[in-house]
Structure 1
Amino acid sequence: MTTYKTAQPNAAALDPELGLLADALRKTMETTTGAALDAALVELGWPEMLAEMPEVAIPLVFGLLGETGAHAPVVNDVVLAEAGSGIGSTVPLPYTGNRWIEWSRHDRDTEALDAELPVAVVESGSSIPVSAGRRALGWWLVGTSRAMLDLARTHALDRTQFGKPIAGFQAVRHRLAETFVAIEGAEATLHAATDDLGSLLAKAAAGRAAILTARHCQQVLGGIGFTAEHDLHRHIRRALVLDGMLGSSRELTREAGAIIRAGGSAPRLVNL
Structure 2
Amino acid sequence: MDAAERDLFAQTLRKMMTVASGRALDRALADLGWSDLLTEVPDVAVPLTFGLLGETGAHAPLLNDVLLHAAGRAVGGTLPLPYAGGAWVVWERTDEAGDALDGELPLGSVAAGDPVPLAAGRRALGWWLLGTGRAMLALARSHVLDRTQFGRPLASFQAVRHRLAETLVALDGVESTLVAAEDDLGCLLAKAAAGQAALTAARHCQQVLGGIGFTAEHDLHRHVRRALVLDGLLGGARELTREAGALIREGRSAPRLVQL
Q: What's the counterpart of residue 139 of structure 1?
A: 127
Is the CA contact (8 Å cut-off) linking 2:123 and 2:190 kept in structure 1? yes
**CA distance in 2 between partners of 1:193 and 1:89 (Å):** 26
For residues 170-227 of structure 1, the C-alpha deviation after alignment (integer angstroms, 9 at most, x for no partner) is 0000000000000000111000001000000000000000000000000000000000
Q: What's the counterpart of residue 11 of structure 2?
A: 23
**CA distance in 1 between partners of 2:256 and 2:227 (Å):** 29
**CA distance in 2 between partners of 1:72 and 1:145 (Å):** 18
**CA distance in 1 between partners of 2:253 and 2:32 (Å):** 45
Partner-residue secondary structure (3-state), 1:94: strand
**1:112 Cα offset (Å):** 1.0
* Pick aligned residue for 2:206 from 200, 218, 221: 218
**CA distance in 1 between partners of 2:181 and 2:230 (Å):** 19
**CA distance in 2 between partners of 1:64 and 1:45 (Å):** 17
Partner-residue secondary structure (3-state), 1:171: helix
* Pick aligned residue for 1:152 from 121, 137, 140: 140
Is the CA contact (8 Å cut-off) linking 2:143 and 2:209 kept in structure 1? yes
**1:77 Cα offset (Å):** 0.2
For residues 120-178 of structure 1, the C-alpha deviation after alignment (integer angstroms, 9 at most, x for no partner) is 01011001100000000000000000000000000000110111210000000000000
Deviates more, 1:39-48 or 1:204-213: 39-48
Match status 1:206 vs 2:194: yes
**CA distance in 1 between partners of 2:29 and 2:128 (Å):** 16
**1:267 Cα offset (Å):** 2.2
Match status 1:192 vs 2:195: no
**CA distance in 2 between partners of 1:109 and 1:220 (Å):** 30
Partner-residue secondary structure (3-state), 2:85: coil
Stretches of 4+ aligned residues off by more than 4 angstroms? none
Match status 1:110 vs 2:86: no
Q: What's the counterpart of residue 52 of structure 2?
A: 64
Aligned length: 260
Partner-residue secondary structure (3-state), 2:161: helix
**CA distance in 2 between partners of 1:164 and 1:84 (Å):** 57
What fraction of aligned residue pairs are identical, expressed as a percent?
A: 67
**1:269 Cα offset (Å):** 2.5
**1:109 Cα offset (Å):** 2.3
Match status 1:90 vs 2:83: no
CA-atom RMSD in angstroms: 0.9
Is the CA contact (8 Å cut-off) linking 2:177 and 2:257 kept in structure 1? no
Match status 1:263 vs 2:248: no
Unaligned runs of 5+ in 1: 1-10
Q: What's the counterpart of residue 174 of structure 1?
A: 162
TM-score by length of 2: 0.99
